[in-house]
Amino acid sequence: MKSRLTKWLSITLPLLLGVILIVYTYDKFTAAQLKEIKTHFRRADYFYIIISLIISTLGCASRAYRWKFSLEHMGYKSSFANNFMAISVGYLMNLSIPRSGEFSRALLIKKYDNIPFDKGFGSIVAERIVDSIVLLFLMILTVFVQFEAVKKFVLDKIPLQQTIWLLAIGTLLTIIALLLYFYSKMNFILTLKTKVSGLKEGMLSVVKMKKKWPYIFHTLFIWLSYIAMFYITIFTLTETSDIGVGAVLSSFLVGSITIAVTSSGFGTYPVLMSKILLFYGIAETVGNAFGWIVWISQILLVVITGVISIFLLPILNRKK
């Protein structure tokens, strides 16, 4: 009962936050501003959105190919098609239950390529660690390039005292969890340690694998494709087409973090996108329309590729 309640809360709370933000944001707009937002939707050049979706698909394909390297290092073979479709289904799952996509990916390759769940999941965790390092590097780069704009945005939008309290509580809970893990003799902890041993092999596979340089190349390609995908979308609206590289990096990072920490950015992505673009002289109505256009196009791609993959996986693997 408790796990079911937790599951539903993890789904409904992010969606509820998105709905509240949407209502709060649009309630502040006048009728003329709402009409202006609709006008931006009609006048947008969706050719650039199509190009961005193609680039996004190439990035997903590169992620599927990269996954093969860490699995091969552990002695397992998976097909590119299964990897791509498992990733697509994972993205779709994340729209409903946050972070459930990683579990579904590992379950799908266990089902169709007979790869142990803990090894597959460990390789996915390794991906997340590598991607987090790249994201951290981009954040540091953006802070240096756009220091004043980033500082002003963070101080205006994130309560400093609340952030300090959250960090302190998170640090305390982490210390307690580590002490239990290393010193507790409870059966649950001992079972967990057995599972973690499989995860460690997956995470260390990146460092020890023979094809680490192709892995790094695909990692760079994936993130360059993300940035290029976002950069192409700025030409969708005339008002955003001439923003600088610094503004693109700042907006891209805000969007990436928003999608990572919320229910795929529902409601929050357009609102925060409009706020960050406001620092670069883009009207809030324009930024809001831009955020919705980019977000909706990406969600449609996730839904279409995810649903197709759900149907194709059992068909293409019917002999297994």
Q: How far is CA 17 from CA 21, 173, 186, 272, in A?
A: 6, 25, 38, 13
Q: CA torsion 77→313→299→61, rounded to 10°?
A: 30
Q: What is the pLDDT of residue 16?
A: 56
Contact partners, residue 231, CB within 8 Å, separation at least 6: 248, 252
Whether the CB-CB separation of 310 and 273 falls below 8 Å is answered with no
Backbone angles phi, psi at 107, to 5 degrees: -65, -40
Q: What is the pLDDT of residue 227?
A: 93
Q: What is the pLDDT of residue 133?
A: 81
Q: What is the pLDDT of residue 29?
A: 59
Q: What is the pLDDT of residue 268?
A: 79
Q: What is the pLDDT of residue 26?
A: 52
Q: What is the pLDDT of residue 84?
A: 95
Q: What is the pLDDT of residue 296?
A: 87
Comparing C-alpha atoms, which of 314, 241, 291, 289 is closest to residue 35? 289
Q: What is the pLDDT of residue 222?
A: 95
3-state secondary structure of 115: coil
Q: What is the pLDDT of residue 88?
A: 93
Read off the pTM. 0.75
Q: What is the pLDDT of residue 9?
A: 47
Residue ranges, the chain, pLDDT below 50: 9, 11, 13, 18
